[in-house]
Structure 1
Amino acid sequence: MRRRPVLGLLPALSMGLWGMGGAMAEELRIERETGAVTLRRDGAGPAIVLIPSLGRGQEDFDGIVPRLVAAGFTVLRPEPRGIGGSAPLPPGATLHDMAADIAAVIEAEGAAPTIVAGHAAGNWVARVLAHDRPALVRGVAMLAAVTGTEIDPAIRRSITASYTTTLPDEERLAHLRRAYFAPGNDARAWLPGWHPEVAAAQRAAAAATTDKGWLRAAERHPLLYVAAAEDAIAPPPSLEELHATLGPRVTRVVVARAGHALVPEQPEAVAAALIAFAREAA
């Protein structure tokens, strides 16, 4: 795979530089007019871009990346704005601006067309990218995704409480269990890793995105919907419902014993679904 130069390669760190099979992992930095975007590159081969959920960083995908790399893929993980070395979202940003960051990463890496996978709220960014820059996208994967942008107000309150780090851990755990994790799965995995200011900025960007054309834009491409069987935020829609809302090119995989968090709950199943989809979309 041919890569374009990336500005500002970060100094290599001695820990965590080598992925499965000896493929080097690199931390990169792309300078944009609106500020820097950092990313992690693992593996070698056709690219898969991973976009994390609301207010969370790329480390959420740590459990699936070794499996994707072992299957022969390059995994690109842009760090959301406001996390790590990525500059905060500028005032007035929309989902289109967030998608433009992903487009810049794909172009800098020479990875187009690529598979783009968005977890939960990250799926909105993936679908906006497919709408705005369709030539960069080979397929879209939606992981535990709300197909629209509306969320039940009671569940939304639990989402907010989950990342309100001033609340006692036990109270936050109750909200995490309600909104994100299937019964029996360890919600403590998501006590850390939240960035409240980032979540607020991302919510504002979603609210500022008033156009709706992107909601069906992914139908131009093969689309995978990975549903979590016990998802309180986005209960698994039927394939017929997905065809009605997302178009005829969508396929569905339902992952058992998983809630909206999905990726840390069932990393093997999520990786297997992504690998199969990426190979079929090649």
Structure 2
Amino acid sequence: MVSTGDGPIEVRLRGEGPLVVMLPSMGRGAGDFELLAADVAAAGYRVACPEPRGLGASAVPDREETLSTLASDVAAVISELGGGPAVLVGHAYGNRIARMTATEHPDLVESLVLLACGGFIPVTEEMGVAMRTIFDTRNPPNVRLDAVARAFFAPGNDASVWAGGWYGSLARHQEQATVNTPVGDWWAGGTAPMLAVQPADDRLAVPANAEALVQAVGDRVEVVVIPNAGHALLPEQPEAVAETVIAWLDRRRAEARA
């Protein structure tokens, strides 16, 4: 548990070594990183997965939420765990929080890994409808699962692994933070080096987002495309994601030692 002025944050910890903090997708919890966190910890890193506020024992604060306030929570976690600097791994919505943290707390961030990064190219109306369908618990389970498959998974991949784990109140809370924060405040990720892991079949954070990031920051970002994966990415291609992330971490650690 990490104590903050806005209430405690529950953090799942495993492994020893340089600190890696993982931030999950919109409306979802730290459990999404179970496999990746285990692989990264086994590779010699200390992995911290904070539960978003409102899940587990992470308290919901009485405050006007922005990406800046969410970034302050990440900064509090890093400071509690030794001050970093940490590598931040943000999946989907988590990449926005990661980039805001790097912008406002650069001394705490070594680099960023952006899994399925979006936020610049607006989602289509079809995908907007799918997202609303997923979070509306009045819809039958099969209807919601069909929306999960269309929005989050590449054709032919098993969406049933993400049939659950959707938290509408958390998603609304996070969406308000997005509305309250201009894209330009976080898009460039401060001055941190970045790895953008782009799912080839992403329909929510389409590849044009990664292309726009390259145009904005140049060679400060490296892009790796993962085939046969949609926005969910983590349950679709766990081995490819782990291999890509660990290669980045190992390279950054080797460069720091040189």
Q: TM-score, normalised by structure 2?
A: 0.93
The one-letter code of the counterpart of 1:223 is: M
Residue in 2 that maps onto 1:15: none
Deviation at 1:97, TM superposition (A): 0.4
Q: 1:158 aligns with which of 112, 130, 133?
A: 130
Contact 1:164 1:196 in 2 (8 A): yes
Residue in 1 that maps onto 2:26: 54
Q: 1:140 aligns with which of 108, 112, 115?
A: 112
Find the aligned partners of 1:246 and 1:177 in 2 and give their Cα distance: 32
Residue in 2 that maps onto 1:264: 235
Contact 1:123 1:143 in 2 (8 A): yes
SS at match of 2:48: strand
Residue in 2 that maps onto 1:92: 64
Find the aligned partners of 2:6 and 2:209 in 1 and give their Cα distance: 40
The one-letter code of the counterpart of 1:262 is: L
Find the aligned partners of 1:263 and 1:240 in 2 and give their Cα distance: 21
Contact 2:27 2:166 in 1 (8 A): yes
The one-letter code of the counterpart of 2:199 is: A
Deviation at 1:162, TM superposition (A): 1.4
Residue in 1 that maps onto 2:177: 205
Structure 2 residue 11 is matched with structure 1 residue 33: no
Q: 1:74 aligns with which of 46, 56, 67?
A: 46
Deviation at 1:276, TM superposition (A): 1.0
Structure 2 residue 250 is matched with structure 1 residue 279: yes
Structure 2 residue 231 is matched with structure 1 residue 247: no
Contact 1:216 1:247 in 2 (8 A): no
User: Could you say what the CA RMSD is over the residues aligned between the two structures, in angstroms?
Assistant: 1.7
Contact 2:86 2:108 in 1 (8 A): yes
Contact 2:117 2:210 in 1 (8 A): no
Find the aligned partners of 2:175 and 2:224 in 1 and give their Cα distance: 27
After TM superposition, the structure 1 stretch with the greater mean CA deviation from structure 2, 182-191 or 86-95, is: 86-95
Find the aligned partners of 1:233 and 1:182 in 2 and give their Cα distance: 11
Find the aligned partners of 2:213 and 2:83 in 1 and give their Cα distance: 28
Indicate how the Cα distance of structure 1 residues 33 and 240 shifts in structure 2: closer, same or farther if over 3 A, else same: closer
Contact 1:51 1:118 in 2 (8 A): yes
Find the aligned partners of 1:121 and 1:140 in 2 and give their Cα distance: 14
The one-letter code of the counterpart of 2:16 is: A
Contact 1:181 1:187 in 2 (8 A): yes
Unaligned stretches of 5+ residues in structure 2: 254-258
Deviation at 1:272, TM superposition (A): 1.1
Unaligned stretches of 5+ residues in structure 1: 1-28
Indicate how the Cα distance of structure 1 residues 174 and 89 shifts in structure 2: closer, same or farther if over 3 A, else same: farther
Indicate how the Cα distance of structure 1 residues 39 and 127 shifts in structure 2: closer, same or farther if over 3 A, else same: same
TM-superposition CA deviations, 1:3-60 (whole Å, max 9, x none): xxxxxxxxxxxxxxxxxxxxxxxxxx11211111110110011111100000000000
After TM superposition, the structure 1 stretch with the greater mean CA deviation from structure 2, 159-168 or 263-272, is: 159-168
Residue in 1 that maps onto 2:164: 192
Find the aligned partners of 1:279 and 1:233 in 2 and give their Cα distance: 30
The one-letter code of the counterpart of 2:126 is: A
Contact 1:182 1:259 in 2 (8 A): yes
Q: TM-score, normalised by structure 1?
A: 0.85
The one-letter code of the counterpart of 2:220 is: R
Deviation at 1:83, TM superposition (A): 0.5
Indicate how the Cα distance of structure 1 residues 246 and 146 shifts in structure 2: closer, same or farther if over 3 A, else same: farther
Q: Which has the higher helix share?
A: 2
Residue in 2 that maps onto 1:7: none
SS at match of 2:52: coil
Indicate how the Cα distance of structure 1 residues 279 and 133 shifts in structure 2: closer, same or farther if over 3 A, else same: same
After TM superposition, the structure 1 stretch with the greater mean CA deviation from structure 2, 95-104 or 82-91, is: 82-91
Q: Percent identity?
A: 39
The one-letter code of the counterpart of 2:235 is: P
Residue in 2 that maps onto 1:18: none
TM-superposition CA deviations, 1:63-109 (whole Å, max 9, x none): 21221111111110010011010012534210100010000000000
Residue in 2 that maps onto 1:8: none
Deviation at 1:240, TM superposition (A): 5.5
Residue in 2 that maps onto 1:109: 81
